[in-house]
């Protein structure tokens, strides 16, 4: 990003955004490295309670940005082959219509953002030099001598990050964990944010290292650690695919079906059916799939038939030039030939 872009963005974050985009911390995801310094808690597009928290814990500001970037990048990674590809818009709100449409996509966005924040904060806690959080102390002296292992090292302590993510994103009143049979957009978002945080816990694993005479592994030191965020993204994508439609609370009782069972904490829920994302719809900020690259050999979502919604595709030949047949020449360089290949490239009509 050039300096002008960076300035415009800072300006956008600081001035315009709170007025028109309902103040979302998600914008931190696009405050790229091109912006030399974050404008600080006061200059950010945060809601009042978020700004207050940010000012109380300014050392978490870099993690807020890390978490937002991690989450957006992972959303785009998980959806790169789908019709809706998690693209962000250049104007607020960051995810366009999908941030508030109440669809499965809205659900995924909220889950992955909340999870990203837990992940980013937990990582700095585990670096061990924060005064507010650190490694999981409960796991420091336990273990099982008879089974030959004990807890050691630094176990990721997700409780602090989870607490902060809840407080920062949801800001719930104390007794809000009621059993629901219908949802508003805001309770739907809260549910899905919590499911995102659960995903961090669900994907944690235990790692061990062997000790003992010449690697005999007589005794092992073990610690709990978070999965790489990509694994969390994959887990949430699976939840997205199995997400559950729930009734809209503001619908007249007669028109809505009550949920027969409460929804499990770790499931994603949505209120509205998704559009098919096939054709451009400017009003709803849907890009459509025209011009998207498809894979003729695939049978998955990136296949030409699914991605192009049956409209067909254009094929053009693309010339690739690569270094090839590289040989090591004594001494000391590598000599290569230039190889050309022709590949068919398919794009949706
Ligand atoms: C998503 O697809 C649109 C075309 O429909 C493309 O312009 C955009 O770059 C894609 N975004 C990502 C993040 O891949
Ligand atoms: C913690 O340590 C890392 C590297 O050791 C350093 O980059 C970071 O600034 C430190 N954070 C604090 C809050 O001291
Ligand atoms: C919290 O619970 C108390 C008593 O259980 C109730 O009176 C109050 O209305 C509840 N508050 C909210 C915000 O639900
Ligand atoms: C729920 O229904 C009401 C009334 O029909 C509507 O205004 C609102 O947008 C709906 N909520 C969502 C998330 O679609």
Per-residue model confidence as pLDDT tens digits over 199-240: 999 999 999 888 877 777 888 888 999 999 999 999 999 999
CA 46 to centroid of ligand 1, rounded, Å: 27
Rg (CA), the chain: 24
What phi and psi, each to the nearest 5 degrees, are found at residue 277?
60, 20
Distance 174 CA to ligand 3 centre (A): 8
Residue nearest to atom 11 of ligand 3 (CA): 175
pLDDT tens string 277-286: 999 988 888 8
Could you tell me the maximum CA-CA distance found in the chain, to the nearest angstrom?
A: 83
Query: Counting beta carbons within 10 angstroms of the beta carbon of residue 327, is it exposed (0 to 12), middle (13 to 18) or buried (19 or more)?
Result: exposed
Q: Give the residue carrying structure tokens 């995924």.
A: 108
How far is Cα 22 from Cα 9, in angstroms, rounded to an integer? Answer: 17
Q: Whose CA is nearest to atom 6 of ligand 3?
A: 175
Choose the residue to mutate in 170, 173, 174, 175 for probing ligand 3, maximizing ligand atoms within 8 Å of C-beta.
Answer: 175
Burial class (CB in 10 A: 0-12, 13-18, 19+), 89: middle
| Structure tokens belonging to residue 307 | 């991605």
Comparing 77-91, 222-236, 298-312, the range with the smallest average pLDDT is 77-91
- For the stretch 12-21, contacts whose Cβ atoms lie closer than 8 Å and that sit 24 or more positions apart, written own/partner, are 12/92, 13/39, 13/43, 13/44, 13/45, 14/39, 14/43, 14/44, 14/45, 16/92, 17/45, 17/92, 18/45, 18/46, 20/92, 21/45, 21/92, 21/93, 21/94
Note the pTM of the prediction, 2 decimals: 0.83
Cα gap 16→23, rounded to integer Å = 10
Q: Where in the chain is CATH 3.30.2460.20?
A: 293-349
**Residues within 6 Å of ligand 4 by CB:** 102, 185, 248, 250-251, 271-272
* CA dihedral for 232, 285, 299, 245, sign (positive or negative): positive
Q: Take residue 330 and report the two structure tokens written for it.
A: 């004594």
Q: With a 6 A CB cut-off, is 280 part of the ligand 2 pocket?
A: no
Confidence (pLDDT) at 218: 81
Task: Please tell me the distance from the alpha carbon of residue 65 to that of residue 29, in angstroms, as a whole number.
Answer: 6
* Burial readout 146-182 (b: 16 or more C-beta within 10 A, e: otherwise): eeebbbbbbbbbbebbbebbbebbbeeeeeeeeebbb
* pLDDT tops 90 at residue 74: yes
Tell me 289's DSSP state. Answer: S
Read off the pLDDT band of 180 (50, 70, 90).
confident
The pLDDT of residue 252 is above 80: no
Cis peptide bond N-terminal to 219, omega within 30: no
Residue 95: per-residue pLDDT? 83
Q: Ligand 3 atom closest to Cα of 175?
A: 1
The ligand that comes nearest to the alpha carbon of residue 80 is 1
CA distance 36 to 311: 45
Nearest atom in ligand 3 to the alpha carbon of residue 176 is 14
> For residue range 2-58, what is the model confidence (pLDDT) as tens digits?
333 333 444 444 434 333 334 578 878 876 544 545 667 877 778 888 888 888 988
Burial of 337 (0-12, 13-18, 19+ CB in 10 A): exposed
Domain 293-349: homologous superfamily in CATH: Wnt (Wingless and Int-1), C-terminal domain (3.30.2460.20)
Contact 17, 43 (CB under 8 A): no
């Amino acid at each position: 990003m050039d300096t002008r872009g960076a300035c415009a963005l800072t300006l956008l974050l600081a001035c315009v955004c709170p007025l028109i985009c309902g103040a979302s911390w998600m914008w931190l995801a696009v405050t790229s490295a091109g912006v030399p310094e974050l404008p600080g808690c006061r200059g950010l597009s945060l809601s009042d309670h978020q700004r207050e928290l940010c000012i109380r814990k300014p050392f978490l500001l870099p993690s807020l940005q890390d978490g937002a970037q991690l989450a957006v990048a992972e959303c785009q990674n998980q959806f790169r082959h789908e019709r809706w590809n998690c693209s962000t818009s250049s104007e607020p709100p960051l995810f366009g219509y999908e941030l508030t449409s109440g669809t499965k996509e809205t659900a995924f966005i909220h889950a992955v953002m909340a999870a990203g924040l837990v992940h980013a904060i937990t990582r700095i806690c585990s670096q061990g030099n924060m005064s507010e959080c650190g490694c999981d102390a409960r796991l420091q002296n336990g273990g099982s001598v008879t089974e030959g292992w004990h807890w050691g090292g630094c176990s990721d302590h997700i409780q602090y990050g989870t607490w902060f993510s809840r407080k920062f994103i949801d800001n719930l009143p104390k007794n809000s964990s009621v059993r629901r049979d219908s949802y508003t957009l805001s309770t739907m978002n809260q549910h899905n944010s919590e499911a995102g945080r659960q995903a961090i816990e669900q994907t944690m694993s235990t790692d061990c290292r062997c000790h003992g005479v010449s690697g005999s592994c007589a005794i092992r030191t073990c610690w709990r650690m978070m999965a790489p965020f990509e694994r969390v993204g994959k887990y949430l994508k699976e939840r997205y695919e199995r997400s559950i439609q729930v009734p809209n609370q503001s619908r007249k009782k007669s028109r809505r079906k009550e949920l027969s069972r409460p929804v499990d904490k770790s499931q994603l829920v949505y209120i509205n059916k998704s559009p098919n994302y096939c054709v451009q719809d400017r009003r709803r900020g849907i890009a459509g799939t025209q011009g998207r690259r498809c894979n003729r050999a695939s049978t998955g979502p990136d296949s030409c038939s699914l991605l192009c919604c049956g409209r067909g595709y254009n094929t053009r030949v693309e010339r690739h030039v690569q270094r090839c047949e590289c040989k090591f020449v004594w001494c000391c360089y590598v000599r290569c030939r230039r190889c050309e290949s022709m590949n068919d490239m398919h794009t949706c009509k």
